[in-house]
A and B are shown apart, each in its own frame.
Chain A
């Protein structure tokens, strides 16, 4: 067994010195306790990141005042949930999430089909472009779209009026449609990443046999292809639906001005926009959300149990590509249009916005670079840039390291407690950023004085660590699952310790996945808003928070400048990821 072949420095020497004697009892017990200590520390760390804020939430939802203050236990928070207004908000959230998931799924299937199954020109390049929106922080496009589709001065409305001579505005992003539209831009590439792989992995003979049975291409697509994909589609649907309920940026920017409230904005408002923050109500909502997500995850598990068809061939066949004739330029145009609308349009808006004195007044004599000067000379903004970069670099590295260790223990060892670790690492997945944010807010406030986390940059780092761990663990689990056990057994038989082995495996074999996960986590940190906005304080602002503050102060022009800089960073990282990593990893790892 592998655990016997990992000698500790002391015990191993002892055992080695007494070859042929009875069992090396001291060596073994020393080893077990050392590992036990390590496991205990890991469980403690994960509990601090998950169970601790979770219990704070629970306490908060049942106690009339925030922790540490005199109050009483009651169910007022939940009682408030039972009002007609709160139920309306819940239904609204579900409605919006369904409203964006259904069209996104349709779009994603269509785009994935174009990319994986047709002879559309430049498919590989289009694939990169289509998935780009997924990597752009939503707050950027939210602000860009708020400028594009503003009913009074939005660029699109101005162009429309200029072109048609009409005097009304056709587009108003501050609406139900605006919220949904903004979410669709993100869910579509997210779903696309899943679905395109399913298309690619399908055994082409499953479709070809349908053609041989007399079914046309269309009939085959509806009756066989889609039906075979149903488990994967259901899975992505639920995933996307859950993400829709967690979404904060879209309803904040487009819903709030139109008095459309969803769960996340309701929580935010009840903390930030009430005379006295109503924590009890906010945490009760948080709990309701988590319960709902738990139900969804459970439903997903029930629906999919035993229904994931093995449609994948071992052969390196590529599924047959449909020849579209001249229609292939239509499909090309469709993909290009998607990219233009979701990326080019908002980025152009940021570009234009950054060079005119006032947003909405686009005349030649209004051209200026003063916003760039303002941004580059603002110490607050520079501090946010530094904070974000530091948090991104350190946060992504720590998160991936934690994910690598957790995944290693849960898939590659048979140690006791590995299931606990796995479950703990997965828990934040069901906590939306906003909910986890509140949990940490109190969790940090309740820490004894000598541990100054509350209101510092460490609070953000720990929150990002918790939020990123589920994905990091998943990416690394996938990476390890592909490696053969012999490699590490070989390494450990030759006397390497646990960390040496892990390090070697990581360096030699799993680093591409580690790097992919790192980039994903880094992007995740850069775009995070809902937890950051609750946990930042003066001095520890991050870019997304600064953007929001500038926006609230009406400085849309400076927002554009910062947005552009962030876009550059996104494109740079994405380019590096594709150029360098794509050669080593087949999937995009999302």
Chain B
């Protein structure tokens, strides 16, 4: 049984579809992330699950309970859905202390005093904020407020935890640390989490599965590795970094034992093999995705997927160096170790890792 199930849900604002026919299942204990550019409908989707926004189409099931069904006109208000939520602004109430903030959901549920005391203390310990219990909320830093928000969302043991860009208001260093800590906590508690972010790094490092969204629709759902290394479409591929997409023609296709396919592709004056997620007919065009970090510099072209070309630009980025190399396959982005520094204008050879080269149908949109 899945913890959350979204069945063809939509949200229209007038004629505009902010969310358009989304289907999604989250397993119990899973960390699922909605990822997409700003304005693609992630927040709206999350708010429909929360009940803060009404879906204009489709059905939402949480556990085994239907919480919203647009066709039947059924809508359960947010307070009855038993979900925890962490807001982008944290929404810590400034007129209360840390303790009162976290105790609020329990007081609403009329729990006895000593139980409240004990559970709030436990929740604050979880986020390492127990020593701040009597602080007034405005006297907290952003990171501390975020922890209190998590404690408040967890204290009544909700069925699902919803988080809307909870790290986006923290500075870069704190963001990684807090993210990792939260992920550890989530695993320990085994709480199903639906997480929204526009940050690819965050999505990949935290999630069990990532849902890539664009213009109110889902482009692809998969484990972070799948999404990054084996995108289904050009849009998903291009959402992460600056991949090289090389135009080729398929010459042959054979299925591998792991269910993937191996393609024999040819470009202008070169040929090689790459992987694909589906069968391609011979003679059709395919885009081969080469991630810049999977390309390496070599002494000479070795046949297969390798090219020589002139270094057009070179940028030192600390951990690596980003080169642009002009080859017959087009201008290729290459990320190499920072110690290799071919001069701009010099000739270099580039070799691609065939296991990391990934073919996409050239015609598929979105």
Interface residues of A (CB under 8 A from B): 203, 205-206, 208-217, 219, 224, 227-228, 230, 309-311, 313, 320
Please, how many residues of chain B have a CB less than 8 angstroms from a CB on the other chain? 28
Also in contact, A209 and B85, with CB within 8 A (given A214-B156, A227-B95, A228-B93)? yes
Known pairs A213-B152, A214-B79, A228-B94. 12 more at Cβ < 8 A?
A: A209-B87, A209-B149, A209-B152, A211-B77, A212-B83, A213-B108, A213-B156, A214-B82, A216-B77, A224-B93, A228-B93, A309-B138
Residues of B near A205 (CB, < 8 A) are 87-89, 91
Helix, strand, loop or mixed for chain A's interface?
helix
Bound complex: CA A217 to CA B108 (Å): 12
Is B95 a contact partner of A230 (Cβ separation < 8 A)?
A: yes
0/1 interface trace, chain B 137-169, chain A, CB 8 Å (1 if under): 010000000000100110010000010000000
Residues of A near B80 (CB, < 8 A) are 214
Bound complex: CA A74 to CA B307 (Å): 107
Is A228 a contact partner of B153 (Cβ separation < 8 A)?
A: no
Is B95 a contact partner of A213 (Cβ separation < 8 A)?
A: no
Q: Pick from A203, A212, A219, A224: contact of B85, CB below 8 A.
A: A212
Q: Pick from A213, A217, A230, A310: contact of B105, CB below 8 A.
A: A213
Residues of B near A230 (CB, < 8 A) are 95
Also in contact, A320 and B95, with CB within 8 A (given A209-B87, A212-B78)? no
Is A210 a contact partner of B104 (Cβ separation < 8 A)?
A: yes
Also in contact, A211 and B78, with CB within 8 A (given A205-B87, A309-B138)? yes
Bound complex: CA A320 to CA B152 (Å): 22
Question: B266 at the A/B interface (Cβ < 8 Å)?
Answer: no
| Min CB–CB distance B296 → chain A (angstroms) | 45
| Min CB–CB distance A303 → chain B (angstroms) | 14
CB-nearest residue of chain B relative to A216? B79
Query: How many residue pairs between the two chains, A and B, have CB atoms under 8 Å in the bound complex?
Result: 71
Question: B109 at the A/B interface (Cβ < 8 Å)?
Answer: yes
Residues of A near B51 (CB, < 8 A) are 211
Is B95 a contact partner of A309 (Cβ separation < 8 A)?
A: yes
Interface residues of B (CB under 8 A from A): 50-52, 77-80, 82-85, 87-89, 91, 93-95, 104-105, 108-109, 138, 149, 152-153, 156, 162
Is A211 a contact partner of B52 (Cβ separation < 8 A)?
A: yes
Is B79 a contact partner of A211 (Cβ separation < 8 A)?
A: yes
Residue among B83, B87, B156 with max Cβ neighbours from chain A (10 Å): B87
Q: Lowest 3 CB-CB distances: which A-B pairs, in order?
A: A213-B105, A209-B91, A309-B94
Residues of A near B77 (CB, < 8 A) are 211, 216-217
Is B89 a contact partner of A215 (Cβ separation < 8 A)?
A: no
| Min CB–CB distance B320 → chain A (angstroms) | 36
Q: Can you give 30 contacting A-B residue pairs, CB < 8 Å? A: A206-B91, A208-B85, A208-B87, A209-B87, A209-B91, A209-B149, A210-B93, A210-B104, A211-B77, A211-B78, A211-B79, A212-B52, A212-B78, A212-B79, A212-B84, A212-B162, A213-B79, A213-B104, A213-B108, A213-B156, A214-B79, A214-B108, A215-B104, A217-B77, A224-B93, A227-B93, A228-B94, A228-B95, A311-B94, A320-B52
Residues of B near A228 (CB, < 8 A) are 93-95
Residue among A205, A212, A227 with max Cβ neighbours from chain B (10 Å): A212
Is A212 a contact partner of B94 (Cβ separation < 8 A)?
A: no
Is B79 a contact partner of A215 (Cβ separation < 8 A)?
A: yes
CB-nearest residue of chain B relative to A220? B79
Residues of A near B105 (CB, < 8 A) are 213-214
Bound complex: CA A313 to CA B105 (Å): 24
Residues of B near A208 (CB, < 8 A) are 50, 52, 78, 85, 87, 91
Residues of A near B84 (CB, < 8 A) are 212
Residue among B52, B88, B95, B153 with max Cβ neighbours from chain A (10 Å): B95
Is B50 a contact partner of A310 (Cβ separation < 8 A)?
A: no
Residues of B near A212 (CB, < 8 A) are 50, 52, 78-79, 83-85, 153, 162
CB-nearest residue of chain B relative to A212? B85
Bound complex: CA A313 to CA B89 (Å): 8
Bound complex: CA A206 to CA B90 (Å): 8
CB-nearest residue of chain A relative to B47? A208
| Min CB–CB distance A304 → chain B (angstroms) | 13
Residues of A near B89 (CB, < 8 A) are 203, 205, 313
Bound complex: CA A320 to CA B53 (Å): 9
Residues of B near A310 (CB, < 8 A) are 94, 138
Bound complex: CA A309 to CA B52 (Å): 24
Residues of A near B94 (CB, < 8 A) are 228, 309-311
Residues of B near A227 (CB, < 8 A) are 93, 95
Residues of B near A215 (CB, < 8 A) are 79, 104, 108
Residues of B near A211 (CB, < 8 A) are 51-52, 77-79
Bound complex: CA A211 to CA B79 (Å): 5
| Min CB–CB distance A106 → chain B (angstroms) | 21
Residues of B near A311 (CB, < 8 A) are 94
Residues of B near A214 (CB, < 8 A) are 79-80, 82, 105, 108-109, 156
